[in-house]
Amino acid sequence: MPPTTGPFPISRPWKRWAVAAGLVAGFLAFFWLFGGWSLAPQVDLTLSNGDEPQTLDPAMATAQLDGRIILALFEGLTTRAADGSIVGGMAESWEMSPDGLTYTFHLRPGIKWSNGDPVTAQDFVDSWERTLNPATASEYSYQLYYLRNGEAYGTGKITDFSQVGVKAPDAQTLVCTLAHPTAFFLELTSFQTLCPVHMPTIKKYGRDWTKPGHMVSNGPYVLKDWRFRNYILVEANPYYWKPVPVHRMKVLPTSNANTTFNLFYSHKTDLILDTRSIPATLVADIKDKPYFHANPFGATTFLRFNVKRKPFDDVRVRTALALALDKHDIVTKITRAGEPIADTFAPPGYKGYTPPQGLGYHPDEARRLLAEAGYPGGKGFPDVNLLYAIRGSGPQQIATEMQALWQRELGITSIHLRGQEFNVYLNTQQLIDYDLSLSAWIGDYNDPQTFLDMFVTDGGNNETGWSDPQYDQLLATSENTVDPAARMKILSDMEKILCVDQVPIVPIYFWVGMALYEPGKIGGFEPNFVDDHRWGNFYIPEKKP
C-alpha cells in the first residue's frame, strides 16, 4: 500500500466520509445532551416576565420580576385578588386588636405543601425566623421589622427569637404582635418576603433547594422545570386549597424589549407582564391597539437635590428649579405611555388618601425666586452635575430635556449631565456625592407611607441629606395613629412639607404599568395599582366554566 499523500492519514474516500459522519453524529449527540435542546413542552399559556430571575427563594428575592414567579409558587397569609385587593391566602380569616398591635390569623383547614405535608402556623414562625436571621442575609428582611423586636433580631441585637412578636399557639393559629400599629400589615403578609418556606427541604438541599425537583412550595403552582435563561415551566399545584384554572405555564426570561415584542407579535408569547419589556420607542404606536393595556401604577420618577451642597442648600433655588420644570414636556416627548405628571410624590390612587396641592409649573415665579436667591437670569449659577443612571435611553433623554428646560426658563447654562452605569449610580447616590440626581421609587405596598417614610432624617433611602424635625415628628405620630382617616391626613401634611415647603425632591411623573395581551386569550388580569398580578387568578376565557 502506498504511503498516504493527503494532509490526513486516512486516504480512502469512504473512510473520510465515515469520519465526517461520525463527527457530525457526535456533534449532534453532544448538543442534544448539553445544548439545552428539548422537545417543546405543551403549555396553556406563555408569559414574558422580563429577565432571568435572580433567585426563587422568597426570603432572598428583591426584584419585582422574581416576585412575580415566587408569588405563583408560594403564598403568604394573605394574597391579592385580580383587582389588587387583599384577600385570604393561607389564612382564612383574621382579627386585629383594637389598638392595632395584634393580628390573629386563622389558617385554612387542610392546607398542604406541594409534597403533601400540612402547612402549619409553625411553618410561618420558622420561615420568618430564617428571613430575619442575619445569617440568612436577606436584603428584604426589614419587611419583618414591623414585628415587635423584629428589627432587634434582624440586626443581631437580640438572639432569642422567642422575643420576636410572632407565635403559633396551635397549628392553625398565628399571632403577630407589632412594634406599632401598621395600617398596611395585611399588604405585607401577601408579599414574597413573608411567604412560608418548607424548612426540611432547605435543610436537605441548602443553596440548591430552589432547583426543580427539589423545591416544595405552597402556592397555586409548582416548579416543573427551570432552564437557565431559557424558560421556566410551572404546573398547577394539586395540593393547593382551590382549583387552579390554567394548568401549565411557560415563563420566558427574554430581556431584550424588541425581542420580547417580536415574540408577542408572532404569537410565541401570550402575555408581556413587564413594563420594561415593552419597547419604549413603540409605545406611542401601539398605545391604541386592543392588546395594549396600561394602568396607573404606584411608582414615581423624581429629582433629588443634595441639600448639603450649594446652591441647593437654599430652598428658594430648589423651589425655582421645581417651578420651572415643564413636566408635561417630558411625558409627551419622552416617556409617551400616558404617564400622569407628578406634582406630589406619592402617586394618586391610594384608598382614603388626598395628596396636597403641589407646586405646579410657574416659570415667572421660578425666575423671581432664582433672582431673589442671587442668580437673576441664571447669572452666577455655579457649575453643578445632574446625575442619572445609564439604563436604557430613558433617563438620559429625561436628564437632557430637564437641562434644556432649565436653560430655557431660568437661563441656567451650568448644569452638566453626569451619566453613570446603574450600579455606580446607586453607589454615588447612596454616598450623596451628587448635586442633582434623577431617581425613581416603586412603592413596596399599597399605602402612601411606602413613599413618605423614605425622607425621615438619616433614613436609609433619604439620600438627599435633608432633615426636618417636624416631618420626623409627623411620621412618628402617623405610625401610632390607628384611625385611618386621621393617619392619611398626617401623611398628606408630611407630603406638603416634602413637595411644597421644603422641596428636597421634585416629583416628575407617575409611572403606568403596561402589559400586552389579546383580551380574548387571558382572563383574570385586571389593572391594579400595585401592578401585582397573581398568576393563580388567570384563566383562559373559552375554558372558563
Partner 1 sequence: MIALIVRRLIQAIPVLFIVVTLTFMLVRSAPGSPFASEKKIPKEIMDQLEQEYDLKGPLWHQYAQYMWKVAHGDLSISTQYRNRSVNEIIAQTLPVSMTLGALAYCMALGAGITLGALAAVRHGQWGDRTLMLLALLGISIPSFVLAPMLILFLAIDLGILPVAGWGSADQIILPALCLSIPFAAIIARLTRGSLLEVLKLDFVRTARAKGLPEFAVLFRHALKVAILPVIGYSGPAAAGILTGSIVIETLFGIPGIGPFFVLSAENFDPFVTSGIVLVFSSFLIVFNLVADILYFVVDRRVRLE
| Residue 204 is a binding residue for partner 1 (CB under 8 A) | no
Residue 395: how many other CB atoms lie within 10 Å: 21
Residue in 87, 171, 315, 426 binding partner 1, rule: CB under 8 A: 426
Nearer to partner 1, 20 or 284 (CB): 20
Residue in 4, 11, 54, 93 binding partner 1, rule: CB under 8 A: 54
Least separation in angstroms between CB 292 and partner 1: 18
| Residue 154 is a binding residue for partner 1 (CB under 8 A) | yes
Instruction: List C-alpha distances in Å: 304 to 121, 393, 498.
Output: 43, 20, 11
| Residue 275 is a binding residue for partner 1 (CB under 8 A) | no
Q: Going along 461-540, which residue ranges are E strands? A: 505-517
Q: Going along 284-435, which residue ranges are E strands? A: 292-305, 384-390, 415-421
Between CA 114 and CA 135 the distance in angstroms is 27
Instruction: List C-alpha distances in Å: 543 to 44, 45, 235, 247, 379.
Output: 11, 13, 17, 11, 68
Least separation in angstroms between CB 120 and partner 1: 26
| Residue 393 is a binding residue for partner 1 (CB under 8 A) | no
| Residue 14 is a binding residue for partner 1 (CB under 8 A) | no
CA contacts within 13 A on the Cβ side of 531: 24
417: cell is: 449631565
| Residue 485 is a binding residue for partner 1 (CB under 8 A) | no
Between CA 473 and CA 475 the distance in angstroms is 5
Least separation in angstroms between CB 247 and partner 1: 20
Segment 212-231, which members bind partner 1 (CB under 8 A)?
227-231
Residue in 422, 480, 526, 541 binding partner 1, rule: CB under 8 A: 422
| Residue 291 is a binding residue for partner 1 (CB under 8 A) | no
Annotate 317-338 with b (16+ C-beta within 10 A) or e (fewer): bbbbbbbbbbbebbbeebbbbe
Please choose, from the candidates 69, 47, 65, 52, the residue with its C-alpha nearest in 3D space to the C-alpha of residue 268: 47
| Residue 17 is a binding residue for partner 1 (CB under 8 A) | no
323: cell is: 417651578
Least separation in angstroms between CB 53 and partner 1: 8
User: Cβ neighbours of residue 228 under 8 Å, at least 6 residues apart?
Assistant: 52
Residue pair 11/5 in contact (Cβ under 8 Å)? The answer is yes
Residue 33: how many other CB atoms lie within 10 Å: 9
Residue in 16, 85, 115, 139 binding partner 1, rule: CB under 8 A: 139
Residue in 98, 110, 460, 469 binding partner 1, rule: CB under 8 A: 460
Nearer to partner 1, 154 or 349 (CB): 154
| Residue 62 is a binding residue for partner 1 (CB under 8 A) | yes
Name the site residues for partner 1 (rule: CB under 8 A). Answer: 7-8, 27, 30-31, 34-38, 40, 52, 54-57, 60, 62, 134-142, 154-156, 207-211, 227-231, 252, 254-256, 258-260, 262-263, 265-266, 268, 421-424, 426-428, 430, 440-442, 459-461
